[in-house]
């Protein structure tokens, strides 16, 4: 009898190696840093080539709002605290620095450090009071503080805030490299450095022991109390860090815009930050960055579209809503909430998950080990 050959067992397909997130981030930062040196036109996105001051200003504004969205991500996406007063600390940084430069002879760095300390004290006081309650009550208390700040900015106490017109940037002690349209490129790089710094700080906080505790508190506060962790103090610490980051971003915003106006103290400004986080994907750091960039570009460029001849020539039924950028942004936000619950980050994850279906099946043991490691990390909190 002839022996039958036994077929060799088939080897499962190898899972594709994923590119580390930090490497993708480093490449994105390098590419962004080179944009001011390139003649790269993006029609419909930027008002001109990337080296032009108008385009650089818009891209710098996108990065500043992305950094603000990251600070709100730490507050809402990580800690689960829905605040309607986060703009108060952004405005405290902008107004505080503007007032110190206008009323004193301090150098920029000294004035910035003092304004940051004042913003931290403000965030500590507001957080200590607001965190005595939770849920809707917490949101309403933070809203009340923000409205109080908005009223003070508009009332112009002792001529400090400039009232409805705001306060301009006094450039006497500001380095010449950060003043004027000719130095917009330097402001772009400063905004990029601010975004990178805020991203690093948020990542460090989120991965720290306090970050794990605050995430666990968001899911089950009673369990955290049972294992002996102080959720109030850790939430307060997260609240203060988010406020300090927002204040630092507000200072860079002042240098870019050369003015602080009462609009940045309103609850509407906080809601814009909330929309950026939701649009990008709640709980995702890079999602908050992408959501802020997309929102800012739409907010700026839709104003141009609203006044174009194309929209003017449409019938009244279409002309009236399309001439309001807020209407288009609102419709976009509703569509994202309805059809993309995870925002841009969630949609991207689902898309890449479908493409890597066989690879994931082959590498399921790796994901199980990762999940076990995450469980062990949470158990260490006890």
pLDDT 10s digits, 50-79: 989 999 999 999 999 999 999 999 999 898
- With a cut of 80, say whether residue 375 has pLDDT above it: no
The band of 351, judged by pLDDT with boundaries at 50, 70 and 90, is confident
What pLDDT does residue 205 have?
92
- With a cut of 80, say whether residue 173 has pLDDT above it: yes
Which has the higher per-residue pLDDT, 44 or 271? 271
What residues have CB less than 8 Å from 23, skipping those under 6 apart?
none
What pLDDT does residue 367 have?
42
Structure tokens at 149: 């700040």
Question: What domain range is 214 assigned to?
Answer: 45-266
Is 24 domain-assigned? Answer: no
- With a cut of 60, say whether residue 345 has pLDDT above it: yes
Mean pLDDT of the chain: 83
Could you give the CA distance from residue 195 to residue 115 in angstroms, rounded to a whole number?
A: 19
Average pLDDT (201-214) is 89
Q: Which stretch of 206-215, 271-280, 290-299, 358-367 has the lowest confidence by average pLDDT?
A: 358-367
Average pLDDT (154-180) is 89
Could you give the CA distance from residue 293 to residue 50 in angstroms, rounded to a whole number?
A: 15
Structure tokens at 152: 């003070």
What pLDDT does residue 13 have?
54
Which has the higher per-residue pLDDT, 370 or 264? 264
Is 144 domain-assigned? Answer: yes
**Burial zone of 158 (CB within 10 Å; 0-12 exposed, 13-18 middle, 19+ buried):** exposed
Average pLDDT (290-315) is 79
Average pLDDT (242-264) is 94
pLDDT above 70 covers what percent of the chain? 84
**Burial zone of 255 (CB within 10 Å; 0-12 exposed, 13-18 middle, 19+ buried):** buried
Is 195 domain-assigned? Answer: yes
Q: Which stretch of 59-63, 151-155, 328-332, 367-371 has the lowest confidence by average pLDDT?
A: 367-371
CB half-sphere exposure, 326, CA atoms < 13 A:
3
Is 137 domain-assigned? Answer: yes
pLDDT above 90 covers what percent of the chain? 43
**What does the chain come to in residues?**
382
pTM: 0.85
Determine contact, residues 381/213, Cβ cutoff 8 Å.
yes
- With a cut of 50, say whether residue 361 has pLDDT above it: no
What pLDDT does residue 343 have?
84
| Burial track 282-309 (b if 16+ CB lie within 10 A, e otherwise) | bbbbbbbbbbbbbbbbbbbbbeeebeee
Is 276 domain-assigned? Answer: no
Is 213 domain-assigned? Answer: yes
Centre a 10 Å sphere on the Cβ of residue 322 and count the other Cβ atoms it contains: 18
Backbone angles phi, psi at 259, to 5 degrees: -165, 145
Is 118 domain-assigned? Answer: yes
Q: What does the angle CA 338 – CA 143 – CA 276 come to, to the nearest 5 degrees?
A: 35
The band of 137, judged by pLDDT with boundaries at 50, 70 and 90, is very high
Which has the higher per-residue pLDDT, 109 or 225? 109
Structure tokens at 257: 């815009």
What pLDDT does residue 371 have?
44
**In Å, what is the CA distance from 56 to each residue of 14, 40, 48, 82?**
44, 12, 9, 32
- With a cut of 50, say whether residue 273 has pLDDT above it: yes
The band of 353, judged by pLDDT with boundaries at 50, 70 and 90, is low
Report the domain count for the chain. Answer: 1
Average pLDDT (105-128) is 95
How do residues 209-235 score in pLDDT, each as one tens digit?
888 888 888 887 787 777 777 888 989
Is 278 domain-assigned? Answer: no
> Nearest to residue 240, comparing CAs of 68, 94, 71?
71
Which has the higher per-residue pLDDT, 364 or 123? 123
């Amino acid at each position: 009898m002839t022996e039958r050959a036994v077929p060799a067992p088939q080897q499962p397909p190898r899972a594709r190696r994923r590119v580390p997130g930090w490497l993708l981030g480093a490449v994105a930062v390098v590419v962004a840093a080179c944009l001011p040196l390139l003649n790269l036109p993006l029609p419909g996105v930027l008002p001109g080539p990337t080296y032009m001051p108008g385009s650089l200003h818009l891209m710098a504004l996108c990065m500043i709002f992305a950094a603000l969205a990251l600070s709100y991500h730490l507050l809402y996406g990580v800690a689960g605290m829905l605040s309607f007063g986060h703009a108060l600390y952004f405005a405290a940084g902008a107004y505080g620095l503007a007032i110190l430069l206008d009323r004193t002879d301090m150098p920029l760095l000294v004035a910035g450090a003092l304004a940051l300390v004042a913003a931290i004290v403000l965030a500590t006081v507001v957080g200590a009071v607001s965190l005595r309650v939770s849920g809707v009550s917490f949101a309403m208390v933070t809203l009340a503080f923000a409205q109080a700040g908005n009223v003070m900015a508009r009332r112009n106490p002792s001529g400090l805030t400039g009232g409805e017109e705001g306060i301009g940037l006094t450039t006497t002690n500001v380095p010449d490299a950060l003043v004027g349209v000719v130095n917009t490129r330097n402001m772009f790089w400063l905004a990029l450095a601010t975004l990178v710094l805020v991203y690093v700080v948020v990542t460090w906080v989120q991965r720290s022991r306090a970050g794990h505790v605050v995430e666990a508190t968001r899911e089950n506060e009673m369990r955290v109390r049972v294992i002996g962790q102080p959720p109030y103090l850790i939430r307060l610490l997260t609240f203060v860090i988010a406020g300090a980051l927002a204040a630092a971003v507000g200072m860079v915003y002042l240098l870019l815009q050369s003015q602080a106006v009462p609009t940045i103290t309103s609850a509407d400004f906080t809601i814009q930050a909330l929309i950026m986080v939701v649009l990008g994907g709640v709980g995702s750091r890079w999602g908050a960055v992408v959501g802020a960039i997309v929102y800012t570009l739409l907010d700026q460029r839709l104003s141009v579209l609203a006044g174009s001849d194309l929209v003017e020539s449409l019938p009244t039924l279409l002309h009236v809503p399309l001439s309001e950028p807020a209407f288009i942004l609102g419709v976009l936000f509703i569509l994202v909430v309805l059809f993309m619950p995870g925002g841009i980050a969630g949609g991207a994850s689902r898309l890449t998950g479908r493409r890597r279906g066989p690879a994931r099946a082959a590498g399921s043991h790796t994901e199980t080990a990762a999940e076990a490691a995450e469980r062990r990390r949470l158990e260490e909190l006890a």
